[in-house]
Structure 1
Amino acid sequence: MIHSHWILINPYVKSFPKILMILLIILIQLSVTLHARKVVLVVGDKNFPPYEFLSPKGFPTGFLVDLMNSISIEMGKEFEIELMRWDIAQKKVLTGEADVIEGMKITPERKKFYDFGKPYFTMYMVGVVREDSDIDSLLKAKDKRISVQKATASHEWLERNGFKNIVAVDSYESALKLVVDGRVEIAAVGDPRVARYIMMKNDWMDILKMTDDRINEEVYTFAVKKGNDELLRKLNEALENLKKDGTFGKIYKKWFGSGEYMVQRMKSTLRIFLVILLVVMSLTSILLSFLVMKLLKFRKTATEETRRFHMMVNLFSKISPDTGMEEFMESVLDIALKLIPECDRGSIGIIEGNRWRFIAVRGFSEELKYANIRADQIYIPRDDVTVIENIHLVHNLSRMPKDLVQLFERCGSKDIVVSIAAPLKLGDKPIGNLFIDSTKKTKITRESQNTVMVLGKLSSVFLMLKIYHEKELRFTKETVKVMIRLLEMRDKYTKGHSERVAKMSMEFGKKLKLSRDEIDDLFWGGILHDIGKLGVPESILNKPSKLTEKEFAIVKSHSILGANLVSSSEYLKKLAPIIRHHHERWDG
């Protein structure tokens, strides 16, 4: 928001152990507050019966769902199973939003992106046509209109084998419906069990028939994103144990035994029991609904805590001197607004000298970043986290010039109803602040306050590390300058030479359109190229007469001495090749 903490930058970083202590405290807090348990998110196709599909009440069911629940118990890990459109399920695993696809055919193309488990069994593709059709094979239907579920192995096979008139739809059931309606001549289905189940469910057994094809036979099993080796190993171990103790066989028999396809014939019998069961089912439904609501609430909470934990860990991983200030602070705001949905704006600012600068803003004009603001013109909250109502009323407007007040109002400060504020500190002294704001009247939860507090502490650690690193770089550069002055004192011929070489090297770099970092390296390489002469005796460096061959060899060794000298510095070692080869001839 448009507000801030009074902050004075501590001119000294008192001790590096302090940084480590803060990091340790935050890690402990994250592990306790954000719940360390990891829920394995399993995804699949919402319409691929009898393997996986949604029940009439919307719950995941099918062979794969039963199997994954058993694997969950065997592993001792909580699984959350979500069924959705097949193409979306695949994307979720590839983007890391989900962990496992519970069932997928292994194809060469998919092996580029997924790692697969031990086989369940093999699957093959069949065609489905109308009962009165003359088409008896998919292989004879290349010129026909053919429907298929998109993003499936069957879809890939059709495209790979030159089928042109493909109608890709969201599910195999939709593909078969197109055949029933006469809009396509044939459908390609990835497994005969799926085709038969859909036909029976929709009373299409007298309308449709399957071809005798056995095409594109492939292994069928679970899949994880490529590189997720630890999860894959545990899944494989659990599956192997279920096969050994007979659980896999029982689940298989349940879904694919001889009674699987008797559903249609048993409909009339089931109706007799329907009235008797209705009362019992109603009571059971009430109880189950209550339990399911409890379970869903628990799973939602667990999933949200896991999401929150991963976001914090991801932000923690960005705490590095190499991360840009704006990049990190913008990530902080993005995470805050995702985890605190009741808020819709935010800002982070710091004190630089006696001025205030907004590093990152969300929901406000970027103009704020360039506003000329004194540090003492900004409101200063003091506690680790503070909830503030009507922030525009507590701004020190009397100390602000009129144009600055107008800028704040133009950017929307009057729209803010409630804010959550946390200080950014260097040691005990504030150096900036984090504000997360809401433009609507809302209750700020304790959880939201804790989130802002943790984000504020992480931002403080980042700033502390950044400032420490900048001080270290300044110290290194000053040390280099002292060494060069020492060299010039020893070698009267070197005075001003290193600086001239550095400036000329920079000009070459600019002409070659090198990057800012590369030009900086050229400058410091030019400054330090003769630093090895510190290892050459002064009597040789300043000898007025001609050097002997031995003396000349010692002088020539200064490039090697210089390269060895800077190689011991973490910051300067990248300059070693420049120093080592600065006397190399143009022709190499």
Structure 2
Amino acid sequence: MGVLVFFLSIYSIIITILFLNSKKYKKVNLKDIVYDFTSQLTNENNDFSVRALSYISKEFSEIDSGAFLIKRGREYHEISSFGKKIEISDKIFFYKDYLIKDFTIDESFGVRLILHSKTKLSKAKEEKIEIISTLISSSELIKNLIKKHGKFQIDLMLSMIKILEYYDRYTKGHSLRVAELSQKIAKKLRLSPQEVSDAYWTGLVHDIGKIAVPTNILNKEGKLTSEEYEIIKKHPIYGFEFLSTSETLKNIATYVYHHHEKWNGSGYPGGLKGEMIPMISRIISVADSWDAMTSKRAYRDALTYESSLQEIINNSGKQFDPKVVKAFISVLEEEENIA
């Protein structure tokens, strides 16, 4: 139960990590509201969204009115508000003094936060509003899913992975494919049942730190600049920082942190070499690279099966652990025979 709750909160909390530890953002402290969010997460009747709106009314003097709405079917319905009456029609999107945050999952469910600002917000405060609106949206999404499916079934947890896919449009299905392939490789290596399980869960969340990477970099079509690449390279660190706050997931956090290390020591973020790299991280490295090569990405089309396999083989002993590559090839051969 606790693990599933934790996974479902990843999407919302990860974005706050960068800001909560930054001195220039201490003026409006978000820690209380983040803890409030996590404590309400499993409550089907939680009122986090109402309290978050109240928080905005008290902590942001520039904002004199606001409303929180939920879309059910084709219409939005006001759940809570403060200040003057907010117009619900789409015309408000054209008004410069309004901040509108929309989060829509499908045609039947969505969340909208509307705020009226009497004076311009600083960039820091705009970013804090962005964080709070994300928490509100995720709180309502999770509450809606609980009502639909019951308390945290496996398919409900997997829907959290879908949220990352909304964020990064080029990784649809990537996390699940990496998880499944990593599990097969771990079994082929005859690892313990716990390690096989860890390989699967690490595969599911290995890229969760990318939620802290700006979308204009993540979905950029074309070559990244050196500065943009350095930002992308931080995603294992972001994932580790969040996952390691849970005692249950500390091992998985470590595996996520090291999944871009290379066998020859030229990887990141730790520059570990050979057997110093955790085995699960070495497995994820191969599975992640394979799926990335055989899938369309923002900057290139998918590579062929043959060229992708040759790339893995060529980098055995360089980027990849030779034992893991051997197990990976064995998995592919078995799947070909079954097909």
The TM-score with structure 2 as length reference comes to 0.37
Name the structure where helix makes up a greater proportion of residues.
2
Name the structure where strand makes up a greater proportion of residues.
1
The TM-score with structure 1 as length reference comes to 0.22
Larger Rg: 1
